Each structure stands twice: as C-alpha cells, then as structure tokens.
Amino acid sequence: MDNSKSILKERCIQLLSIIEQKRISYPELIDILELVTLDLEVKKEVIREAQEKGILRKEGKNIILYNFEEQKFKPNIIRRELEDRCRRCGRTITKCYYIEFLDSELGPYGSSCIKKSGLTRKI
C-alpha cells in the first residue's frame, strides 16, 4: 500500500477518535476528514475502516462516533502567526492553527477550516 496514503488514513482515524461530539452528520464527518485529505478514495477507506474498528457507526443520516477510552487524549490547538497556506482550502492565511497530536501536528488551517474539526472550544 502507498505509505503516504496509510499515514493519511491513520491521521483521519486519529482525528475521529478525539472528536468530542458523538453524533455528527455525514457532511460534518466529511468536513473532519477533509482536514486531513481531499482524496475521495482515502475518505471512503477511512469510513470503512473506522466502521470495522468500531469507531464509527452509521445510524440513518447520522454518524455515531465511539471513542476508545485509551485514545481519550485531548489535543491542543496551537496558533502561530505566520503566512502559510491552509492545508484544507489552500487559502493564504496569517493566523495558522495546528492540531497537536502526541507525536505530530496537523495543519496549518485558517480559522474557518479549523472550526470544522469540532475542536474549536480550544480556540
């Protein structure tokens, strides 16, 4: 398997496992996954794998997220003032937000894109 693709999938799963909101809509799920990648194939595979791992379940039009106890780590949102491009929409931004994981960080994102993560209480 393409290594970078597997990293993207891992990031998606990691992100899903820390979302505090337990019931989200399908568009919200896509918004969250798109913080990591716009690749349709990856998004589809992540949704399938998350279902297999028991992280995600479809219930009608809703998505129910089950976060594993051991993954209940609270990510930090870091803000840096610098000029960069938003990882999600490609827009030039000067207030860059990053989601900080234990071993890495995801970003940068502009303020409107980071809000789609559902982690905005930290901002």
Shortest distance, position 107 Cβ to Zn ion, whole Å: 10
Is 13 one of the binding residues for Zn ion (CB under 5 A)? Answer: no
**97: part of which helix (H) or strand (E)?**
strand 92-100
Phi, psi of 55 (to 5 degrees): -85, -30
Q: Which residues is 95 bridged to in the sheet?
A: 81
Residue 105's DSSP bridge partners are 100
CB of 41 to Zn ion, least distance (A): 22
Tell which residue, 34, 43, 9, has the closest CA to residue 116: 34
Segment 99-118, which members bind Zn ion (CB under 5 A)? Answer: 110, 113
Shorter beta-carbon distance to Zn ion: residue 27 or 58: 27
Nearer to Zn ion, 23 or 90 (CB): 90
CB 35 within 8 A of CB 87: yes
Q: Restricting to residues 55-94, which ones interact with Zn ion according to CB under 5 A?
A: 86, 88-89
Residues that bind Zn ion (CB under 5 A): 86, 88-89, 110, 113
